[in-house]
Amino acid sequence: MTTDTRTDPAQPGLLPDGRTRTLLLAAAGFAVAVAAPHVLYPVFVMKVLCFALFACAFNLLLGFAGLLSFGHAAFFGGAAYVSAHAAKVWGFPPELAILAGTASAAMTGLLFGWLAIRRQGIYFAMITLALSQMVFFLALQLPFTGGEDGIQAVPRGVLFGLVDLNDPLAMYWTVLGVCLFGFAVIRRAVHSPFGQVLKAIRENEPRAISLGYRTERYKLLAFVLSAALAGMAGATKALVFQLASLTDVTWQMSGEAVLMTLLGGVGTLAGPVVGAALVVTLQNHLADSGVPVTVVTGFIFVVCVLLFRRGIVGEIEHRLRRRAP
């Protein structure tokens, strides 16, 4: 009689390999986040964090609900304007300014989603793009937005009346906290029953309908949640750079969210973070070199599509799964 000495993954007190790997990656990521402002320029790291949250918010819609939006700049940039105006003109403290921007993005997402989710595929994408362009022209024409100059010299303020955000490190920890909260919301949504229904809709919406799910409600909720988190990223970025400008609401900004997500890996939690870090780093290092950033970014995108069709993180996860016993 032989004794099986293999470890049972379900045995109490032992972590499965996948969970162990997730915990190790989370610990490593947190360690990098703690060390980053002491090694790199804090404003650069804060920009990476804001765009990482923006890309993750977009990925929630594309990677898990299967909805391709070309209008997420409306939520990102619109929230930036609201947050900047609330902080500079209304005198809101930073926490309320970010909350105001997030709430405005959620309400805009509710309106845009109600109009867009009635269509699918390219029609959905074109409707979101058209609605986003409307926001761009409103930002260009409305008096409070400052037109082509934007809203400048936005005060960072004092967080909860205690922490002066003019200190770069204090601002960094605030941005890190906001982004970690956003990442946690996305992770919780993806691994909840709501997230499982979204995946079912992505894979086969008619089947999900036949099972009794009201798919339009799920897609609308996903759209609003994605818009709110994109708005949170934009509102935070406005305080970091003390500026809200037309750049935040252009269609190119929506394109950057698509690019970051595809480079990192659609449908992965860490992929958009890696894609955002890669794109922002390229933009930062090539800005003063005279080399066209869009050409280099496009070249890297083509290479990744040819060699890593699942994205950088998606390809790594796929190979790890293949090697697992």
Mean pLDDT of 206-229: 90
> Can you state the angle between helices 312-323 and 271-286, rounded to 10 degrees?
140
What local confidence, expressed as pLDDT, does residue 324 receive? 62
Whether residue 1 has pLDDT greater than 70: no
| Burial of 194: CB neighbours in 10 Å, binned 0-12, 13-18, 19+ | middle
Torsion of CA 86, 153, 149, 77, to 10 degrees: -50
The gap from C-alpha 6 to its chain's centroid, in whole angstroms, comes to 41
Among the listed residues 147, 144, 145, 164, the one whose alpha carbon sits nearest the alpha carbon of residue 156: 164
Most confident of 2-11, 128-137, 268-277: 128-137
More confident residue, 293 or 122: 122
What local confidence, expressed as pLDDT, does residue 77 receive? 92
pLDDT in tens, 48-105: 999 999 999 999 998 888 888 888 999 999 999 999 999 988 889 999 999 999 999 9
The per-residue DSSP string of 5-40 comes to: -PPPTTSTT---HHHHHHHHHHHHHHHHHHHHHHHS
Place of tokens 């609605």: 131
List, in order, residues 6 or more apart from 291 with CB less than 8 Å away: none
pLDDT in tens, 204-217: 888 988 888 888 89
pLDDT in tens, 150-190: 888 888 888 888 888 888 888 999 999 999 999 999 999 99
State the alpha helices, DSSP H only, in the chain. 17-39, 42-65, 73-88, 94-116, 121-141, 168-190, 193-203, 205-210, 215-241, 251-264, 271-286, 293-307, 312-323
Question: Which region, left, alpha or beta, applies to residue 244 given φ > 0 means left and ψ of -120 to 50 means alpha?
Answer: beta
